[in-house]
Structures are given as C-alpha cells and as structure tokens.
Homo-oligomer: A and B are copies of this chain.
C-alpha cells in the first residue's frame, strides 16, 4: 500500500469469495451460495473471479450451527498450523482446508475479499462487520453500499476489541467482510431477509468492479459502531439464567441505552437497569447462538471513521 497526494493506491481485488454456511443453520447465506454454485451469472463482474463456497457442509446438512466447534472461531494461528489429521475436531480440519484454498491467512496468496454471510435472531437489520478501522478499501466499500441502498439502511459494526475479536472464516482474506442480516430464526428462510442480503452483495460486487476498472473513490467518513463490551445474562450461583432481556430493550438493537435504562427482567418481574457511565448502542440483543457464549448483547460506541481516497495501483 502506498499513498500519493493523499490517495491510497491499492491492488485490484481480482479474487473474491462468498462464504455461506459458516453456521449451518443460517439459511439466507446457505441458500444464496447454493444457488450461485449452480448458476453464478448474478455474481459475475468484469475482471473479478467470484467463488461461492459452502464452508461447513456437515453443519448445513444437520441444520446446526456447527458439528464439533464453532467454525467462525476456528481460524486461529494454532489451529491453522496444527498437524493435519482425523483426530482434530471437524471444524479445525475444515478451517485448514479452507485456509489452503482461500489463504494462507496473512500471505500475499490469500484471496482479496471474502464475504461471509450470516443471519441473526437479533433485530439488527443489515449489518456489515469490519475487523479493522484501517482497511480503507473496506471502508470505501461500506460507504458505497450505504449510499447505494439508501433510503434503506445498512449499519457497520467494527470489532477491533483486543479480547472480543475472534478468528473468523473470512479473516483469511486481505479484506474480510461479514454480512449479518436479521431477525431470522435459525433454520428458517424468510424472503425479506434473503432479498436484503442479496441486494447488499450486489452493491458490494459492483463496488469491486468499479474499483478494478480504475474509478477513484474520494475521501469520506463512515459511521461505525465499535464493539465495547460483552454483557451476560444475570445468573445464579449454578450458572443458570435468572432474567430475560427486558421488553424495553428486546428488538432495540442500535438504539441508545442510557445509564438507568431497563436491561433485564427477572422471572419474578424485577427490572435490572444498565449501570454504565454513558450512552452505549447495544446490538446482537438476544441472539440464540450467544447463550452458550454467555452473551445477552454487546455494547458499542458510535464513531466516524475517515476513509482515505483510494484507487487501484
């Protein structure tokens, strides 16, 4: 990466992958990727090789999040460098295979962009998930998508948290992009969520084509929600949950939560209030898959990031 007259010059994004089924019960991505494997006309763009790929076929077959362990946490250096063999959990073996095809992670041979398609039971709408605030290519892509789908909205979640960031499937790409659309129950395919995801992908691929064709994208600012903290459900001494997300908070992803606002409701009707020191923006509220991760929601902070001008080298 080099800059000239404050324009960042970047390599073209020639190799793009679209992952579905990283969680086998998140049906929009599974269905779209399966469709595109059969007929990829919709995702073809001039000068781009786009590969649709089911990352966890065994979990898809079982319609389960995973078989042995969460694939979307499995792309750690330890796992990717572990000796290959059948005694590894299925998803660790699979992470190694995927890293072989689309990586190696962190190397010049890695794919340029990977979109990983997810659904959530939370009322998050369309959310793009970024892993770095310094990825100007991705920030420009977010800006492009947001403008293209207006007046519909698409929010950006930034997870750079030193403890809460995890080793995603998409993290093997140079520019990893998570796409999370909800609310949709696990194992269900809703037409509104399916179409919303499809439209985001269309604009994302259009952006890549334009970039590869030499279009310059001027500096801009992008509003993001930065992951701050994981909030668990209240529990008893045995670890059993003793309260639910409060009805005032349920489905209110991205809305401000202020100190003193209701956060949980105990089974005997008591309200537990947010004790933070300032306003936060909760998201992933009451996501089914996060009960086992001891997470009722994450808090975020709203920030404006500056994306530099970019054009291809």
Say yes or no for A47: interface residue by CB 8 A criterion: no
* Set B187, B189, B191, B250: member contacting A190, Cβ < 8 A: B250
Q: Determine whether the beta carbon of B244 is less than 8 Å from that of A289.
A: no
Q: Tell me how many chains of this kind the complex includes.
A: 2
A259 in contact (CB, < 8 A): no
Number of interface residues of A (CB under 8 A): 31
Complex CA–CA separation, A29 to B276 (angstroms): 33
| Secondary structure type dominating chain A contacts | loop
Residue contact A286 to B186, C-beta cutoff 8 Å: no
How far does the Cβ of A191 sit from chain B's closest Cβ, in whole Å? 4
Residues 96-125 of A, flagged 1 when their CB comes within 8 A of B and 0 if not, give 000000000000000000000000010000
CB distance from A86 to the nearest CB of B (A): 24
Are A288's CB and B244's CB within 8 A? no
A246, chain B: closest CB distance, angstroms: 7
Verify B31–A191 contact, CB threshold 8 A: no
Contacting pair B192 A250 (CB below 8 A): yes
Contact with B along A261-294 (1 / 0, CB 8 A): 0000101000000000000000000111101100
Give the contacts of A46-63 with B (CB-CB under 8 A): 63
* Residues in B whose Cβ lies below 8 Å from that of A289: 187
Using a CB–CB distance below 8 Å, which chain A residues touch chain B? 31, 34-35, 63-64, 121, 183, 185-192, 194, 240-241, 244-247, 250, 265, 267, 286-289, 291-292
8 contacts between A and B (CB under 8 A): A63-B292, A121-B187, A185-B186, A187-B289, A190-B250, A191-B247, A191-B265, A192-B250
